[in-house]
Amino acid sequence: MTQQQTAGGDVRLTGISKTYGSFTAVQPLDLTVPQGSFFALLGASGCGKTTTLRMIAGLEEATTGTVSLGGKDITALPPYKRPVNTVFQSYALFPHLDITENIAFGLRRRGIKSVKKQVDAMLELVQLGDFARRKPHQLSGGQQQRVAVARALINHPQVLLLDEPLGALDLKLRRQMQLELKRIQTEVGITFVHVTHDQEEAMTMADTVAVMNGGRVEQLGAPADLYENPKTTFVANFLGTSNLIEGEVVGTGTDLVVSAGGGRLRLPADRCSAPAAAGGKLLLGIRPEKISLAHADAAERIADGRNRVTGRIVDSSFIGVSTQYVVESPAGKALHVYEQNVEHRAGLVPGAEVVLHWNPAHTFGLDASQDID
């Protein structure tokens, strides 16, 4: 069954900010959430993502700026007059009402008497048809959260705001619910704005992720783009493990050539987010799974044109899908390598002298004045 609801346009935040006394929780922010998208606000605790969400909901008054929906300024509207609904981490279900009545609550409050058809449609959407007469305490955490989503969606909001809705669930259930929420969003077609501190969750679910840090959006983009092309060390480190290598530019052109760790490394100039002039400093980044390892005495077999640095394995751990190595190298502090190819692992043990090599096209360049950690 398809439940596509008519959506009301983009959510647009213009110069929106929030201060508490002298403390700035959200710095003036411009952000557009496209209609029908699954949008994630991602960041560590305290970065201002919940405050931003609450300003969209109207639960928090903005200090400056405006919130508009489909071109209509809703900044001055109280929460209940905004066509948005919020799902919180604490499901806030009514314990004495069964699932049907929990979901029907918003309709009943508006005086709507015949609710069965709409409630049944919602039960089907969240796949809880068999649980209609149970009380919340008779459901698992994931099922309760689905009831909370159904209860919000039955009011036909144009935007559903989700504030760490999966935070209370264990990891396995969390992963299941991520896929479930994504399915529900695709089915109803309305805009979801989802707050999370879990980068994997944001990347799994969202079309667009805004990475927040210190009350600012540090970078915004599609998950793969953020992962492959981080523009700051914060984004590089927050979205997975990154190896950051300090170097000095010694050649410019379509490819930059950087002297680092006693060797020369290349990267495409268009993957460098910092100004790169000869003699300038750069940070080169490479993801662990993009690196291969070879024994130092087999280095001549590495194809020409690959970036390479030497090192010594100091630690290795087998984690099923890959073996993870930590390598000490003159190119930087501990470098991380995830090797998935079993045949490549033979003899790669702590103490082994190795060459790390990778395709220069996967290297990204960052401004060297930032903290590496």
CB of 64 to ligand ATP, least distance (A): 16
- Give the residue with the Cβ less far from ligand ATP, 24 or 252: 24
Residue 194 binds ligand ATP (CB under 6 A): no
Chosen residue from 4, 5, 15, 20 binding ligand ATP by CB under 6 A:
20
Residue 47 binds ligand ATP (CB under 6 A): yes
Q: Say if residues 31 and 53 touch (Cβ distance below 8 Å).
A: no
Residue 94 binds ligand ATP (CB under 6 A): no
**Euclidean distance between CA atoms 289 and 226, whole angstroms:** 16
Chosen residue from 82, 197, 231, 266 binding ligand ATP by CB under 6 A:
197
Cβ density class 163-191: b for 16+ within 10 Å, e for less: bbbbbebeeebbeebbebbbebbeebebb
CB of 194 to ligand ATP, least distance (A): 12
- Give the residue with the Cβ less far from ligand ATP, 171 or 298: 171
- Give the residue with the Cβ less far from ligand ATP, 23 or 318: 23
Question: Strand, coil or helix: what is 46?
Answer: coil
Please name the residues in contact with 225: beta carbons below 8 A apart, sequence gap of 6 or more: none
Chosen residue from 49, 82, 151, 231 binding ligand ATP by CB under 6 A:
49
Chosen residue from 4, 15, 30, 46 binding ligand ATP by CB under 6 A:
46
CB of 304 to ligand ATP, least distance (A): 47
Residue 50 binds ligand ATP (CB under 6 A): yes
Q: Which stretch binds ligand ATP (CB under 6 A): 9-17, 38-46, 284-292, 301-309?
A: 38-46
CB of 203 to ligand ATP, least distance (A): 17
Chosen residue from 17, 37, 51, 199 binding ligand ATP by CB under 6 A:
51
CB of 18 to ligand ATP, least distance (A): 7
Residue 25 binds ligand ATP (CB under 6 A): yes
**Euclidean distance between CA atoms 163 and 209, whole angstroms:** 15
Residue 43 binds ligand ATP (CB under 6 A): yes
Which pairs count as long-range contacts for 123-131, CB under 8 Å and 24+ apart, including other chains?
123/99, 123/150, 124/1, 125/1, 125/3, 125/150, 125/153, 125/184, 125/187, 125/188, 126/150, 126/180, 126/184, 127/180, 128/99, 131/99
Name beta bridge partners: 209. Answer: 40, 221
Please name the residues in contact with 303: beta carbons below 8 A apart, sequence gap of 6 or more: none
Q: Which stretch binds ligand ATP (CB under 6 A): 49-57, 152-160, 255-263, 335-343?
A: 49-57
Residue 90 binds ligand ATP (CB under 6 A): no
**Euclidean distance between CA atoms 51 and 31, whole angstroms:** 14
- Residue with the shortest CB distance to ligand ATP: 50
CB of 92 to ligand ATP, least distance (A): 16
Please spell the DSSP secondary structure of 174-223, one letter per residue. Answer: HHHHHHHHHHHHHHH--EEEEEES-HHHHHHH-SEEEEEETTEEEEEE-H
Residue that has been written with the tokens 């915004």 in this structure:
220
Residue 211 binds ligand ATP (CB under 6 A): no
DSSP state of 4: P
Q: Say if residues 218 and 41 touch (Cβ distance below 8 Å).
A: no
Closest alpha carbon to 309 in 220, 373, 247? 247
**Euclidean distance between CA atoms 194 and 49, whole angstroms:** 9
Residue 146 binds ligand ATP (CB under 6 A): no
- Give the residue with the Cβ less far from ligand ATP, 37 or 52: 52
Binding site for ligand ATP (CB under 6 A): 20, 23, 25, 43, 45-51, 197
